[in-house]
Amino acid sequence: MKNIGFIGLGIMGRPMAMNLIRAGYSLIVHDINPEPVKDLCRAGAKEGKSSQDVASRSEVIITMLPNSPEVMDVVLGENGVIHGAKQGSVLIDMSSIAPLVSKEVSEELKKGGITMLDAPVSGGEPKAIEGTLAIMVGGPQETFDKISDILHVMGASVRLVGEIGSGNTAKLANQIIVALNIAAMGEAMVLATRAGVDPEQVYQAIRGGLAGSAVLDAKMPLVLDGNFKPGFRIELHIKDLMNALDTARELGVPVFLSSQVMEIMQSLKTDGKSKDDHGGIIQFYEKLAKVKVRRNTSK
């Protein structure tokens, strides 16, 4: 399958689409923001006038959108994918949305002979640029097998988790673990700094032990530099945790720690930090402890 439509060219979608172009795929792209469309067209893509237009010219349609309402609108709304996609085409929704919405959208597409996979990603902008995202997929095995080569261009880890909605369930689990890891890092490093110990030395001392993690290695160096430029914004993690909390309520699952981290993120949003990287969760603890966790530049 060579004709790919790509809708949603934000901080993640743009580099993902660029990697597909570099891999030799023919892309038709669309976004409400004209700038990334122009960039990708300069790289060899073609512009789609609407989601419907993109779908009508593609065998595989990829969507990378902010949340459930946007996916519903782009796929099922006026001028949406459903009105242009041909029977036998595949929609890969790589947005992070509520699993129940994935199932609902899939059921509507089935009526027109269109198969859907939900395939949210983890790794943020750096891994989107590198093409090394972790991609969690839900949907039919047969469809996954047909398009897995496409996903492997964008991801280093691509795994079919189960039926439709399973990809987003896995992503919710991922986002809970990431949020709690970052919050734990914040508590620990503020404690160490307040005690007068160099946080960089603490980081180096613990990273090879049981406390070490991909989250710690990705976020701690940025924190030490005071760099909260977004790779994944706090406001987007709030969205993901909201979906996790809503899903947990529907299933009757306790999520005490996730609820606490959500309150921390909401506090940061109130402080005007919602567009900071989620590594900036540490700023909540820094503010209360009146200390900054930063690299010692006097050495």
Which residues does the annotation mark as catalytic? 171
Contact 189, 281 (CB under 8 A): no
Tell me how far the alpha carbon of residue 76 is from its chain's centroid.
22
Residue 242, classed as helix, strand or coil, is helix
C-alpha distances (whole Å) from 56 to each of 3, 50, 62, 110 are 11, 10, 13, 16
Two tokens, residue 65: 């959108």
Helix (H) or strand (E) holding 1: none
Q: Which of 7, 14, 9, 24 is nearest to 150 (CA)?
A: 24
Residues 172, 236: Cα–Cα separation, whole Å: 12
C-alpha distances (whole Å) from 213 to each of 76, 208, 210 are 40, 9, 8
Written as one letter, the residue type at 137 is: V
